[in-house]
Amino acid sequence: MENKRLFLAIALSVAIFLGWNWLALKMGWITPAPPVAVTQTVPAANATAGAQPEGSFAAPQKVAPEFVPTQGQEVRVDTPLYTAVFHSQGGVLRKFSIKGYQRNLYAPETVTLVNGGAADKTPMALMLAGYNTATQGQWSFDGGDVQLEPGKTGTLRFVGLVDGMRVTREFTFSGDTYVIAEKTEVQSDASRELRPAFTMAAAALTEDSPPSFIATAKHAVFGGEKPKPGESQYNTTRVAWFQDGSFHEEGSLSTLDEGKKVQGLVAWGAVMNNYFVAAVSMKPSKETSLFSRHGNGVFQVSLGNPELTVAPGQTQILEADYYLGPKSTSALAAAPNDLGKTLHYGMFTIIAKPLVALLQFLYGYVGNYGVAIILMTVLIKLLFWPLSQKSYKSMEEMKRLQPEIVKIRERYADDKEAMNKEIMQLYRSHKVNPAGGCLPIVIQIPVFFGLYQALLNSIELRHAVFIEYLPFTNLPWLNDLSAPDPYMITPLIMGATMFLQQKMAPPAGDPTQQKIMLFMPLIFTVLFLGFPSGLVVYWLVNNVISIFQQWTQRRKTTAQPK
């Protein structure tokens, strides 16, 4: 009986409670409570899903992953081609070393493009809305070191919060290329003008060796800027960029110290020398700008787009590519955004490129770049042999007429007009063209300059051995075709061959001109003392072949009846 009364009391209480609530809702005495919101955490891997092309927006994301900053740490990326160290605070580059390339012949350390002072300038940093995201934001990272084998790829992903903007930077690496691809997503609760810019910084790309004897002596005699360790006057560090389909570069430190800005369709900006390059690039769909500067031995470039905006609740996609490595034709072939144009040969590129290909082809057979240069020189001389023959034939005929020309000059010493008329009449009567000796040489000048650029910018010649030791000694000699001859033997022999050529050629009619021509071998010898030995070898072999050709033509002319 007691239990029945208890159950009856409970049932009446529930009925009264439900009836009262129904009546209160009907009469509007109370309002229903809102539903409880459910927070969902999206995995980090989903943040990049549904990415849109650069400059476009992804659909608004209703649910954003929670941001929890982590302590900054260094992350190492090791591939068959290079070793890179990043810092998780912004994903900036701290160190970059290229495998397979020594700093110099006598140091086992590899070539390092980014380290020390350059790392302090936050290379590969992202600038947004005037902020350096590496130094003015909070970041998180939950990955680890990346170790890649050939044919494999890997990624690093850094997430940051910068002045209310959520930034996700993802870098993709490959075991087969020096290219590092970046894809960045930016979100904001409010509309923001991003003004994004990608940066690169590198110290002067020297060989870290003492100044050459020639550079030191030149400084002692002529003064000027003191030579830097390891930096040749033929291989200086400079800033370069590709704007509106054209290559540009700036090597003046005074200009770069003040800062240099260019605007247009700039595809890439780079710090480089003859053999290595550290570049940042992006596909320029609209006007881009490049700012470059130098300070305390560090070169910086910043490539940006001032017009991008991120709308509230949407995602802006930014993309860039980096190349840090050798200026090798094969390595640059796969680089995007015209980065292959960093390998530039000047106005004679159309001639230089085939010559580089020929040099590499010959090296494939002989296995020695010094021998390959000699063979290439012989082939070029054979190509121009008919033109050279005409030149030397004209020179020999001019030499035979020299006694008569001297008599005419003496006879008309006071009448220049009559003298020139008589000399021209002499040329016509003997069917001699006074310009015949010069024209074939002029035609060959573009080939020389093209070859000069090809040899000067061929990383294949860097540390390439021709004759490792001076004969009959243990003294290192031509063991680096990109460096000057340490004992100046080849430049001096080259100067002697030029002097012999001058003596074999017909003397100039004017005595002052004769003296100038005799000084030419001396001037060239001084210039070639600091040239890379590969260039000196080419010029020396070219002179020897020219002397032989000139000698054979002289014998043929002498044998002809007068």
Query: Is 267 within a domain?
Result: no
**Based on the domain organization, do 503 and 359 belong to the same domain?**
yes
Per-position pLDDT tens, the chain of length 562: 444 454 455 455 545 545 545 444 444 444 443 333 333 333 333 333 333 334 444 444 443 556 566 777 899 999 999 999 999 999 999 999 999 998 877 777 889 999 888 898 999 999 998 899 998 889 999 889 999 999 999 999 999 999 889 999 999 999 999 999 999 999 988 888 889 999 999 988 765 444 555 555 555 556 666 655 555 677 889 999 999 889 999 988 889 998 999 988 899 999 999 999 999 998 877 788 899 999 988 999 999 987 788 888 889 999 999 999 999 988 998 899 999 999 988 888 888 889 889 999 999 999 999 999 999 999 988 888 777 667 666 666 776 777 777 777 777 777 777 777 777 777 777 766 665 556 556 767 788 888 888 888 889 888 889 998 888 888 889 988 888 888 899 999 999 998 888 777 666 555 666 667 777 888 888 888 888 889 899 989 988 988 887 787 667 666 565 5
Q: How far apart are CA 234 and CA 537, in angstroms?
A: 16
**Based on the domain organization, do 305 and 359 belong to the same domain?**
no
The two structure tokens encoding residue 190: 């409010």
The two structure tokens encoding residue 562: 């007068």
**Based on the domain organization, do 415 and 322 belong to the same domain?**
no
**Based on the domain organization, do 360 and 311 belong to the same domain?**
no
What is the Cβ-side half-sphere exposure of residue 150, based on CA atoms within 13 angstroms? 1
H helical segments located in 300-348: 329-332
**Based on the domain organization, do 228 and 360 belong to the same domain?**
no
Structural domain count of the chain:
2
**Based on the domain organization, do 306 and 197 belong to the same domain?**
yes
Query: Is 15 within a domain?
Result: no
Query: Is 203 within a domain?
Result: yes
Q: How far apart are CA 205 and CA 230, in angstroms?
A: 9
Q: Which residues pair with 469 in a beta bridge?
A: 476
Query: Is 531 within a domain?
Result: yes
**In a 3-state reduction of DSSP, which class is residue 232?**
coil
Which residues are CB-neighbours of 284 under 8 A, at least 6 positions away? 265, 266, 267, 305
**Based on the domain organization, do 162 and 305 belong to the same domain?**
yes
Q: How far apart are CA 116 and CA 170, in angstroms?
A: 24
Query: Is 193 within a domain?
Result: yes
What's the sign of the alpha-carbon dihedral 539, 541, 542, 546?
positive
- pLDDT the model gives residue 511: 63
Nearest to 137, CA basis, from 76, 188, 84, 81: 188
Query: Is 24 within a domain?
Result: no
- pLDDT the model gives residue 61: 44
Query: Is 89 within a domain?
Result: yes
Nearest to 259, CA basis, from 206, 197, 302, 225: 302
Q: How far apart are CA 379 and CA 126, in angstroms?
A: 51
H helical segments located in 212-282: 213-222, 253-258
**Based on the domain organization, do 410 and 539 belong to the same domain?**
yes
- pLDDT the model gives residue 448: 80
Please tell me the pTM assigned to this model: 0.77
Q: Which residues pair with 238 in a beta bridge?
A: 272
Q: Domain span at residue 314?
A: 50-234+300-326
Q: How far apart are CA 433 and CA 417, in angstroms?
A: 19
Q: How far apart are CA 81 and CA 324, in angstroms?
A: 10
Q: Which residues pair with 157 in a beta bridge?
A: 170
- pLDDT the model gives residue 41: 30
210: DSSP letter: P
Question: How many angstroms from the chain centroid is the CA of residue 57?
Answer: 33
Which residues are CB-neighbours of 513 under 8 A, at least 6 positions away? none
The two structure tokens encoding residue 444: 């060959």
**Based on the domain organization, do 55 and 187 belong to the same domain?**
yes
**Based on the domain organization, do 428 and 535 belong to the same domain?**
yes
Query: Is 61 within a domain?
Result: yes
The string of pLDDT tens digits covering residues 490-501 is 999 999 998 888
**Based on the domain organization, do 319 and 431 belong to the same domain?**
no
**In a 3-state reduction of DSSP, which class is residue 325?**
strand
Last residue of a domain, one of 326, 344, 373: 326
Residue with tokens 């890649």: 148
Under 8 Å between Cβ of 175 and 202: no
Which residues are CB-neighbours of 203 under 8 A, at least 6 positions away? 114, 115, 116, 117, 118, 297, 298, 299
Nearest to 490, CA basis, from 509, 513, 467, 512: 467
Taking the chain, what is the end-to-end CA distance rounded to the nearest angstrom?
Answer: 156
**Based on the domain organization, do 85 and 212 belong to the same domain?**
yes
What's the sign of the alpha-carbon dihedral 395, 397, 400, 403?
negative
* CATH number of the domain where residue 217 is located: 2.70.98
